[in-house]
């Protein structure tokens, strides 16, 4: 039973300096309190089109097949894999983090054959490594993580996509953390299938996940003779809702669409390049401040770092769990530790959206230093 | 590109008298504009527990395994099937509507063997039909639709569940439209796996879908040796987030949880039985009004009708598409036609949540009569 039937929602004030969910854009909150309308209402279809246009901008693509999957980021990951793999397909995975492992698990459940190139978590793959691995494995598809949320490492994927195309494989990219806060650039990089989420670089609530598919990959989907295991995440069926004449597949959630349209409009208002640079500057300021306190970046080379998600190793003697607890209790600040093999070893600090400013980095650093 | 980066969301005023999405409870709107918090925040975990308690009430169950799937109603349908079927399992489907067909399609994609008992759309199955079909087919699982949104027909499922248990099969029920507005009563009926949605009887926005699993079905899940094809909709992994110690699986969407907790609290405040009766009375008033205008119920027997979703056949000479268009343009009222084989043949009129009152039925009937 609900304790008090008349009790309203009144969350305590929190500052989400973690790897996501991140702070939500004020315009998105305002949007969610607007009335829902029907799923074929001309007003709603107009919002859809604006949202898709905004997604093409942040994805850096002309792909017509750019829309959202009615699920969280891992649902979009599963959509990307389930629609482009069939039992027995070979998938080559660049594995240096938790989310590459998640793709491996999903692909195996889909009865694909997975080949993995592993590196220590926090590292990225060189062009030579990418080329040799793909050339040797000759897979039907290649999967990599553009911004690995579990380690803080970023790689654009240029060399991986080029090597994939050289053997006629599709390049599938996890852009869950990169989208909206740093370069994704699907068309320039050569990514065929990209998926993301709403609750990190886009400053929206979770629950609705962008996906974009190149014409080359879409043609492959259209010629697919056997249906994927999943109906809910079937991208051909999903696309039929987004494109005219808008055939019913699932029931979209208007508040999440309203929020994302506003999140994207806020990015357009700021300018995508300006937004990227704001995140880059915040990250540099944060890393400098943390270095002054003895925290060392996990990702060695600055050019391999995610701009809005900083991962650091605490100096000897710092109890990272106690530190996080203190930050949370005294300041309402949420940050995270690592996942999987980095659990308890690193701190993950996000400076996303509204928090990626000098002022908010300083707010964080002051509270952090106080809790040490 | 987004037309106007500074443009805010300002939907036109609509009255959603369709089969869902339905009008959202005011408390749910208020809740969605509250700040998001982290997914392991004690405040959020408290909301989760309240939400689960509220769901047990509306589902009429003691099932510990009562939680939400981070997807729409069809995602929950897929979760129910994908976790309890394996390739080669036999599923018996009671098929008299679009959503029974959807379950058939999903089960076939999951490589299950499907046996169907078909009846004309709008009819329900007798105890004798249920018993004979299940006895003959001896399936591992049985699926039926408690409230068939495409036809307006309701059946509790008592006879189906009893017949399923007699051959040791699980009873899986689509409660997408029944939940929150009329009796579902899982424990009393004997349903093992029930799924629903948020945007109909619960008066919440779409995007988060209740599911409840009996101890007997859960034990079967726990002993399952082979993983389901889906990782995102894997119920064992999902449950690990909902139960202590709350292990990360996906990122939940706080605004949708806040909204559902408030939608359920509003139901508790009204009283579930009161709410059911309010929907029943509204439906009777609506049907009487429509009969006076020459519209005949598709579902012949009153006891087989969904209380909050009325389906009618227009009298000769009424152009139902033109009528719907006129209602929409002149009054901002949305109703729907049929799906599949009933497309263009029936009208589907929902009186859900805030619209299930004498006043709102009369508002509808006046506008409807005016547009004839």
* pLDDT over threshold 80, residue A4: no
Residues of A in Cβ contact (< 8 Å) with B256: 205, 207, 253, 255-256
Tens-digit pLDDT profile for residues A6-16: 899 999 999 99
Q: Do A12 and B43 touch (CB under 8 A)?
A: yes
Q: Do A334 and B50 touch (CB under 8 A)?
A: no
Q: Note the pLDDT of residue B6.
A: 83
CB B349 within 8 A of CB B17: yes
Angle at the Cα of B60 from the Cα atoms of B54 and B66, rounded to 5 degrees: 55
What is the rounded CA–CA span in Å between residue A78 and residue B97? 29
pLDDT tier, A5 (very low <50, low <70, confident <90, very high otherwise): confident
What is the rounded CA–CA span in Å between residue A243 and residue A63? 13
User: Quick one: CA dihedral A259, A264, A270, A275, positive or negative?
Assistant: positive
Nearest to A231 among B20, B106, B199 (CB): B106
CB A138 within 8 A of CB A122: no
Best mutation target, A47, A207, A258, A328, to test chain B (most B CBs within 10 A): A207
Q: Do B254 and A27 touch (CB under 8 A)?
A: no
Q: Do A35 and B29 touch (CB under 8 A)?
A: yes
Distance, in angstroms, between B166 CA and closest chain A CA? 30
Tens-digit pLDDT profile for residues B71-109: 999 999 999 999 999 999 999 999 999 999 999 999 999
The residue in chain B having the minimum alpha-carbon distance to the alpha carbon of residue A176 is B251
Q: Do A256 and B74 touch (CB under 8 A)?
A: no
Distance, in angstroms, between A264 CA and closest chain B CA? 8
Nearest to B20 among A53, A230, A251 (CB): A251
Mean pLDDT of the A284-301 span: 98
CA-atom Rg of chain A in angstroms: 21
Best mutation target, A231, A248, A254, A269, to test chain B (most B CBs within 10 A): A231
Q: What percentage of residues in chain B have a pLDDT greater than 90?
A: 98
Nearest to A205 among B27, B29, B254 (CB): B254
What is the rounded CA–CA span in Å between residue A250 and residue A238? 8
Closest of A17, A41, A66 to residue A235, by C-alpha: A66
| C-alpha separations of B203 from A205, A207, B23, B27, B86 in Å | 20, 18, 6, 10, 34
Nearest to A71 among B20, B70, B205 (CB): B70
The residue in chain A having the minimum alpha-carbon distance to the alpha carbon of residue B20 is A38
CB B93 within 8 A of CB B115: yes
Containing B115, the helix (H) or strand (E) segment is strand B113-118
Closest of B260, B213, B206, B263 to residue B236, by C-alpha: B213
Q: Do A207 and B248 touch (CB under 8 A)?
A: no
In this structure, are strands B193-195 and B209-213 parallel, antiparallel, or unpaired? Answer: antiparallel
Chain A, chain B: beta-carbon pairs less than 8 Å apart:
270
Read off the DSSP letter of residue A302: G
- Edge-first strand listing for the sheet containing B296-297: B296-297, B309-313, B347-350, B336-337
Read off the DSSP letter of residue B354: G
pLDDT tier, B38 (very low <50, low <70, confident <90, very high otherwise): very high
Q: Note the pLDDT of residue A3.
A: 52
Nearest to B32 among A32, A269, A339 (CB): A32
Q: Do A2 and B105 touch (CB under 8 A)?
A: no
Residues of A in Cβ contact (< 8 Å) with B266: 5
Distance, in angstroms, between B64 CA and closest chain A CA? 13
The residue in chain A having the minimum alpha-carbon distance to the alpha carbon of residue B112 is A229
Q: Note the pLDDT of residue B5.
A: 82
- Residue owning tokens 């929950």: B76
Residues of A in Cβ contact (< 8 Å) with B41: 11, 14, 334
Burial B187-223 (b: 16+ CB within 10 A, else e): eebbbbbbbbbbbbbbbbbbbbbbbbbbeebbebbee
pTM of the model: 0.97
Closest of A260, A301, A256, A310 to residue A283, by C-alpha: A310
CB A294 within 8 A of CB A347: no
The residue in chain A having the minimum alpha-carbon distance to the alpha carbon of residue B105 is A231
Q: What percentage of residues in chain A have a pLDDT greater than 70?
A: 99
Give all strands (DSSP E) within chain A, no chain letters. 15-16, 65-69, 90-95, 113-118, 141-145, 147-148, 153-154, 170-174, 193-195, 209-213, 296-297, 309-313, 333-334, 336-337, 347-350
Read off the DSSP letter of residue A25: P
Residues of B in Cβ contact (< 8 Å) with A41: 11, 14, 334
Q: Do B334 and A256 touch (CB under 8 A)?
A: no
User: Dmax over Cα atoms in chain A, in whole Å?
Assistant: 63
pLDDT tier, A1 (very low <50, low <70, confident <90, very high otherwise): very low
The residue in chain B having the minimum alpha-carbon distance to the alpha carbon of residue A203 is B36
Tens-digit pLDDT profile for residues A119-171: 999 999 999 999 999 999 999 999 999 999 999 999 999 999 999 999 999 99
Tokens representing residue B258 in the block: 């806040």
Distance, in angstroms, between A366 CA and closest chain B CA? 21
Distance, in angstroms, between A45 CA and closest chain B CA? 11
Residues of B in Cβ contact (< 8 Å) with A265: 2, 4-7
Distance, in angstroms, between A152 CA and closest chain B CA? 18
What is the rounded CA–CA span in Å between residue A286 and residue A297? 11
What domains lie within chain A, and their CATH numbers? 26-267 (3.40.640.10), 271-371 (3.90.1150.10)
Best mutation target, A255, A256, A331, A337, to test chain B (most B CBs within 10 A): A255
Residues of A in Cβ contact (< 8 Å) with B104: none
Angle at the Cα of B75 from the Cα atoms of B69 and B77, rounded to 5 degrees: 100
What is the rounded CA–CA span in Å between residue A102 and residue A82? 13
List A212's β-bridge partners, or say none: A66, A194
Q: Note the pLDDT of residue A209.
A: 98
The residue in chain A having the minimum alpha-carbon distance to the alpha carbon of residue B27 is A8
Residues of B in Cβ contact (< 8 Å) with A32: 29, 32-33, 255
Asked if ipTM goes beyond 0.95, one says yes
- Residue owning tokens 């056997």: A226
Q: CB under 8 Å, gap of 24 or more: what pairs does B45-48 form?
A: B45/B246, B47/A9, B47/B257, B47/B258, B47/B261, B48/B242, B48/B257
Distance, in angstroms, between A97 CA and closest chain B CA? 16
Helical axes A235-242 vs A73-84, angle rounded to 10°? 120
CB B56 within 8 A of CB B184: no
Q: Do A229 and B229 touch (CB under 8 A)?
A: yes
The residue in chain A having the minimum alpha-carbon distance to the alpha carbon of residue B336 is A38
The residue in chain A having the minimum alpha-carbon distance to the alpha carbon of residue B33 is A29
Q: Do A36 and B47 touch (CB under 8 A)?
A: no
CB A209 within 8 A of CB A196: yes
Q: Note the pLDDT of residue B153.
A: 98
Rounding to the nearest 10 degrees, give the CA dihedral for residues B171, A108, B244, B84. Answer: 0
Mean pLDDT of the B177-198 span: 98
Residues in Cβ contact with A273 at an 8 Å cutoff, skipping those fewer than 6 apart: none
Task: List, in sequence order, the alpha helices (H) in chain B.
Answer: 26-32, 42-59, 73-84, 98-109, 127-137, 158-166, 186-189, 215-222, 235-242, 254-270, 272-292, 320-331, 358-371
**Phi/psi of residue A58, nearest 5 degrees:** -70, -35
Region class of B143: left (phi > 0), else alpha (psi between -120 and 50), else beta: beta
Q: Note the pLDDT of residue B1.
A: 46
List A142's β-bridge partners, or say none: A92, A171
* pLDDT over threshold 90, residue A278: yes
Distance, in angstroms, between B128 CA and closest chain A CA? 32
Q: Do B199 and A251 touch (CB under 8 A)?
A: yes
Q: Note the pLDDT of residue B83.
A: 98
């Amino acid at each position: 039973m609900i304790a008090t039937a008349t009790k309203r929602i009144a969350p305590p004030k929190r500052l989400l300096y973690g790897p996501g969910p991140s702070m939500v854009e004020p315009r998105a909150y305002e949007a969610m309190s607007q009335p829902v309308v029907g799923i074929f209402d001309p007003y709603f279809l107009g919002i859809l089109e604006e949202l898709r246009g905004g997604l093409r901008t942040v994805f850096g693509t002309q792909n017509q097949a750019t829309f959202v999957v009615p699920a969280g980021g891992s649902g979009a990951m599963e959509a990307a894999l389930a629609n482009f793999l069939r039992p027995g397909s070979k998938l080559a995975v660049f594995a240096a983090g938790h989310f590459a492992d998640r793709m491996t698990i999903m692909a195996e459940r889909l009865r694909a054959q997975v080949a993995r190139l592993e590196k220590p978590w926090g590292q990225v793959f060189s062009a030579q490594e990418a080329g040799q691995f793909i050339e040797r494995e000759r897979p039907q598809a290649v999967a990599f993580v553009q911004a690995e949320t579990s380690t803080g490492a970023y790689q654009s994927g240029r060399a991986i996509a080029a090597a994939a195309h050289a053997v006629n494989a599709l390049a599938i990219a996890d852009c869950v953390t990169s989208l909206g806060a740093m370069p994704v650039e699907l068309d320039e990089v050569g990514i065929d299938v990209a998926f993301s989420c709403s609750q990190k670089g886009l400053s929206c609530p979770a629950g609705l996940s962008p996906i974009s598919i190149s014409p080359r990959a879409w043609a492959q989907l259209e010629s697919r003779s056997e249906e994927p295991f999943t109906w809910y995440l079937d991208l051909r069926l999903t696309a039929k809702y987004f494109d005219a004449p808008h055939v019913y597949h699932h029931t979209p959630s208007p508040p999440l669409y309203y929020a994302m349209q506003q999140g994207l409009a806020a990015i357009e208002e700021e300018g995508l390049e300006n937004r990227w640079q704001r995140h880059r500057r915040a990250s540099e300021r944060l890393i400098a401040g943390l270095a002054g306190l003895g925290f060392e970046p996990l990702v060695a080379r600055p050019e391999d770092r995610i701009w809005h998600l900083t991962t650091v190793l605490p100096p000897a003697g710092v109890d990272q769990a106690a530190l996080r607890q203190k930050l949370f209790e005294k300041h309402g600040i949420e940050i995270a530790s690592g996942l999987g093999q980095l659990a308890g070893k690193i701190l993950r600090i996000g400076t996303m959206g509204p928090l990626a400013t000098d002022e908010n980095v300083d707010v964080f650093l002051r509270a952090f230093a106080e809790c040490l």
